[in-house]
Amino acid sequence: MHSRSVAIVTGGSRGIGAAISERLTVDGYAVVINYAGRRDDAVALASRLVAQGGEAVALQADVSDPVAVQRLFDATEARYGGVDVLVNNAGVMDLAPVAQVDDAAFDRLVAINLKGSFNCMREAAHRLRSGGRIINFSSSVIGLRLETYGAYSATKAAVEALTTVLSRELRGRSITVNAVAPGPTATDLFLEGKSPELIERMAKMNPLERLGTPADIAAVVSFLAGPQGGWINGQVIRANGGMV
């Protein structure tokens, strides 16, 4: 039996996911860095974390495929003996006014953000050891109700609904289910294609007057995954500097 607690981080190869993977290895977890297509990024991150004294491995799975998600949990159990923490971080963003969202974009958002999160939650509900943690990812844009974020926000609102319901369904197993809803966070994905003026304006939207960092979000995940967060359950934590 493996002595460390074991965490799966979906979409764990870059941005917020990579920061979470790193933070959880520092916290002492064996971390499975899940990726869909970015194998090189995931393998390089796992190698770096191992070199720093952590326990990490990169495993491929498209979360929108339920069979792939089962295999991901199978492989994790085979390697480490069980799963204690699921961080449901994998997601995509595609922005357009509702009137202009094409079917392919809508289907991709639903397949990855909603069905992908659901597939992982469903598997975790069967697989997680007693005392485990499920940490989903929403977004603070739900509260902002920004134009062009309609379809994206809809997938995240659904994740929030599932979070609360699943937390009640896992009664008696000491497993908590929560969601983290970041505000604007300085990742490559976020900064790409935005003017300095727009970035500055978004940074000023919260009273702390800065963008979040991936490490800020990873700290919230660390809290929820660890013993200090054990009494938080069925909640959405808006990690956004007080924006909404």
152 is catalytic: yes
Q: Choose between 143 and 118: higher pLDDT.
A: 118
Average pLDDT value for residue range 179-197: 91
pLDDT digits (tens, 9 = 90+) for 218-231: 999 999 999 999 99
DSSP conformation letters of the chain: --SS-EEEETTTTSHHHHHHHHHHHHTT-EEEEEESS-HHHHHHHHHHHHHTT-EEEEEE--TT-HHHHHHHHHHHHHHHS---EEEE---------GGG--HHHHHHHIIIIIIIHHHHHHHHHHHPPTT-EEEEE--THHHHT-TT-HHHHHHHHHHHHHHHHHHHHTTTTT-EEEEEEE-SB--HHHHTT--HHHHHHHHTTSTT-S-B-HHHHHHHHHHHHSGGGTT--S-EEEESTT--
pLDDT at position 50 is 97
Q: What is the pTM of this model?
A: 0.96
Q: From the candidates 29, 35, 149, 152, which is the catalytic residue? A: 152
pLDDT digits (tens, 9 = 90+) for 133-145: 999 999 999 998 8
CATH node for 6-138+147-180+218-239: 3.40.50.720
pLDDT digits (tens, 9 = 90+) for 128-185: 999 999 999 999 999 988 899 999 999 999 999 999 999 999 999 999 999 999 999 9
pLDDT at position 107 is 98
Q: What percent of the chain has pLDDT over 90?
A: 92
pLDDT at position 19 is 98
Instruction: Band the pLDDT of 1: cuts 50, 70, 90.
Output: very low
